[in-house]
C-alpha cells in the first residue's frame, strides 16, 4: 500500500503536454507522479525536460513511457514499460535507484514475474468492475505497489482505492 495508507494520483500526459498541465493540478491533490507518453524523440526532448523540471519542482516523480534514453536524458526518475519483457534492459540502463514500473494488462502471472524481477510497481489495465477483484487480490497478497490504469475516472476511482490500488492513473 502507498505510504500513509492512501491512494495517490498518477497523471498521464501526452507528448504535447506543456508545463501548464502541472499548474492545473490543484495543490491539495496528492500527485505522486506524471507519466509522459512520449512522441518522436526529436520533438520530445526539450518539452520533456521542461515538464520534468516542473513536475520535480512540485515534489512528484517524472516517468517516461517506454523510452529509457529519453528518461535518462531529461533526468526523469524512471520509466513505465508497457511490456514486462523490457524490465531487465530498463533496469540495466537506468540503474538501481530509478523507478521502473511495468504494465501487466490483467495478468496476475505477468505481475508476479515483474514483482519477482524487482519492478518498483505493476500496473493493471482496468476495464470494468470485475477488475476490482484483481486489485484487491494483488494488494492483499503482495507488497509490490499497483497502479490502476485504463478505464479509470470519477466513476470508479474511489472503489479502486478501496480495493487497494496504491496509485490511480488518469
Q: What is the pLDDT of residues 27-44, one digit of tens each?
A: 899 999 999 997 766 667
Residue 16 is predicted with a pLDDT of 82
Angle ∠(13,121,24) on CA atoms, nearest 5: 25
Residue 46 is predicted with a pLDDT of 85
State yes or no: pLDDT of 3 exceeds 60: no
List, as one string, the DSSP characters of 114-126.
HHHHT-SEEEEEE
Does a structural domain hold residue 70? yes
pLDDT in tens, 107-132: 999 999 999 999 999 999 999 888 99
Tell me which residue range forms the domain holding 60. Answer: 3-19+29-169
Structural domain total, the chain: 1
Single pTM value for the model: 0.93
Does a structural domain hold residue 24? no
Nearest CA-CA partner of 123 in 87, 75, 97: 87
Give the CATH number of the domain where residue 43 resides: 3.20.20.70
State yes or no: pLDDT of 101 exceeds 50: yes
Beta-bridge mates of residue 62 = 34
Amino acid at each position: 500500500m502507498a505510504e500513509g495508507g492512501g491512494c495517490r494520483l498518477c497523471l498521464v500526459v501526452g507528448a504535447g503536454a506543456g508545463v501548464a498541465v502541472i499548474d492545473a493540478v490543484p495543490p491539495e491533490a496528492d500527485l505522486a507522479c506524471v507519466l509522459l507518453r512520449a512522441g518522436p524523440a526529436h520533438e520530445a526532448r526539450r518539452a520533456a525536460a521542461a515538464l520534468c523540471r516542473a513536475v520535480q519542482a512540485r515534489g512528484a516523480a517524472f516517468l517516461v513511457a517506454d523510452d529509457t534514453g529519453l528518461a535518462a536524458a531529461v533526468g526523469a526518475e524512471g520509466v513505465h514499460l508497457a511490456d514486462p519483457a523490457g524490465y531487465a534492459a530498463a533496469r540495466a540502463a537506468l540503474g538501481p535507484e530509478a523507478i521502473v514500473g511495468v504494465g501487466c494488462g490483467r495478468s496476475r502471472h505477468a505481475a508476479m514475474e515483474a514483482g519477482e524481477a524487482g519492478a518498483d510497481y505493476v500496473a493493471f489495465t482496468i476495464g470494468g468492475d470485475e477488475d476490482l477483484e484483481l486489485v484487491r487480490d494483488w494488494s492483499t497478497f503482495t507488497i509490490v505497489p499497483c497502479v490502476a490504469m485504463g478505464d479509470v475516472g470519477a466513476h470508479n476511482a474511489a472503489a479502486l482505492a478501496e480495493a487497494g490500488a496504491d496509485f490511480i492513473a488518469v
